[in-house]
Copies of this chain bind each other. A is one copy, B any other.
Amino acid sequence: MGLICAQRPALPPEPLAALDSPFNPDFLEPMRDAKPNKEKSPAKAASGDRPAGVRRPDAARIPGSSVHASLASEIGLRIVRGDYPPGTILPNEAKWSETFSVSRSAVREAIKMLMAKSLLASRPKIGSWVEPKERWNLLDRDVLAWYATSPDREVFLKTVQEFRHIIEPEATAFAAMRRTDEQMAEISQACREMGEATSLQERTRADTRFHLAILRASGNDLLVPLGVLIESAFDHLFAYTTRELDDLQHAQKLHEAIEKNIRLQRPDAARNAVRKLLANTDGVIRSR
Q: Which residues of A does B touch, CB under 8 Å? A: 63, 68, 72, 105, 108-109, 112-118, 123, 134, 136-142, 147, 159-160, 162-163, 165-167, 170-171, 174, 216, 220-227, 229
Which among A72, A160, A167, A221 has the greatest number of chain B C-beta atoms within 10 A?
Answer: A221
- The A contact surface, by secondary structure, is helix
Cβ contacts under 8 Å, A224 to chain B: 134, 138
| Docked-complex contact B134 and A68, CB < 8 angstroms | no
Cβ contacts under 8 Å, A112 to chain B: 68, 109, 112-113, 116
On whether A163 and B118 interact (CB within 8 A), knowing A68-B112, A123-B63, the answer reads no
**A138 touches which of B63, B134, B174, B222 (Cβ 8 Å):** B222
**A222 touches which of B115, B160, B227 (Cβ 8 Å):** B160
Cβ contacts under 8 Å, A170 to chain B: 165-166
Cβ contacts under 8 Å, A68 to chain B: 112
Nearest CB on B from A106, distance (A) = 10
**A137 touches which of B108, B114, B137 (Cβ 8 Å):** B137
Cβ contacts under 8 Å, A136 to chain B: 225
Closest to A163 in B: B222
Q: How many angstroms from the CA of A170 to the CA of B159 in the assembled complex?
A: 14
Q: How many angstroms from the CA of A223 to the CA of B166 in the assembled complex?
A: 10
Nearest CB on B from A274, distance (A) = 13
What are 15 residue pairs bridging A and B, where the CB atoms are less than 8 Å apart in the complex?
A105-B105, A105-B108, A109-B112, A113-B116, A134-B216, A137-B139, A137-B140, A140-B140, A147-B221, A159-B221, A162-B220, A163-B223, A166-B167, A167-B167, A222-B229
